[in-house]
A and B are shown apart, each in its own frame.
Chain A
Amino acid sequence: GAGVSQTPSNKVTEKGKYVELRCDPISGHTALYWYRQSLGQGPEFLIYFQGTGAADDSGLPNDRFFAVRPEGSVSTLKIQRTERGDSAVYLCASSLTGKETQYFGPGTRLLVL
C-alpha cells in the first residue's frame, strides 16, 4: 500500500519568507509526527498529533513554527519568518493508534537563503 508522502520534496526560500510543508500519512493511521533532521544528526521531534489535535508540541523550537491537521489526515507544517538556521530536512511519520512503529516519509529538504 501507499506509504507516507511529503510535498514538496525540496523547497528553497529566502530569509524572512513563509513556507508550508505537507504530509500525507498512511491511510488509517491516526497518529502523526513531525521531526527535523540536520546534516549528520538523527531526527529531532517537533510535534505529535492524535487525530486532529496536537497532543504534544513540546519540540517546536519557537512560535514561528506551527502545524495543523484539520481533518485528522493530512498535516501541514508552517514556518513563518524563516531563518537560515531553519534549513534542514523535515520528516513526517505516522503510526496506528497505540502502535509503536512509526513509518517515515521521504522528507522535505528546506533551504533558507
Chain B
Amino acid sequence: EDQVTQSPEALRLQEGESSSLNCSYTVSGLRGLFWYRQDPGKGPEFLFTLYSAGEEKEKERLKATLTKKESFLHITAPKPEDSATYLCAVRTYNNNDMRFGAGTRLTVKP
C-alpha cells in the first residue's frame, strides 16, 4: 500500500536558523511528489511538484529535492511568516488521487 510519512511532526526554529523537513514515501509507480503549505483555517497552497529522482525546485527561501525514497524541503534563513504546516503528497500511475502525509508544523520565532 502507498505510504507517505513526514518528519518531524513539529519543528520550532529561530528566525534565520536553516533546517530541512523530510517526506519518506513507499509507492508503486511515482507519478509526482507535491509540496503544499497550509496556514491555519485555510486550504493547502501549492508550492512544488517533483517528478524524478535528482530533480530540485526553488522558490524564495524554500528548496525541494527528490530521491527514489524521500523528498526534502530545505528552508534557508526562515522568517516568522514561513510558519505553517507543510504537507507532502504523492500521486501514482495507479490512482487518481493524491496521498498526503500528516504534515510538519513549522514555527519560526523572531
> Which chain A residues have a beta carbon within 8 Å of chain B's beta carbons?
4, 33, 35, 40-45, 48, 55-56, 59, 91, 93, 100-107
Check if B89 sits within 8 Å of A55, measured CB to CB.
no
Q: Does A107 lie within 8 Å of B42, measured CB to CB?
A: yes
Contact: A104 with B44, CB < 8 Å? yes
**Chain B residue total in the interface (Cβ 8 A):** 24
As a 0/1 sequence over residues 15 to 54 of chain B, the CB contacts with chain A under 8 angstroms (1 = contact) are 0000000000000000110101000011111100100000
List the A residue with the shortest CB-CB distance to B99. Answer: A45
From the candidates A35, A101, A105, name the one contacting B34 in the complex (CB within 8 A): A101
Q: Give the one of B36, B96, B102 with max A CB within 10 A.
A: B96
Closest residue to A38 on the B side, CB-wise?
B102
Question: How far is the CB of B3 from the nearest CB of chain A, in Å?
Answer: 12
Interface contact A43-B49, CB-CB below 8 Å: no
With A100-B49, A104-B43, A105-B43 given, name 14 new contacts (CB 8 A).
A35-B97, A41-B103, A42-B4, A42-B87, A43-B100, A45-B98, A48-B96, A48-B97, A101-B34, A101-B49, A102-B46, A103-B46, A106-B41, A107-B42
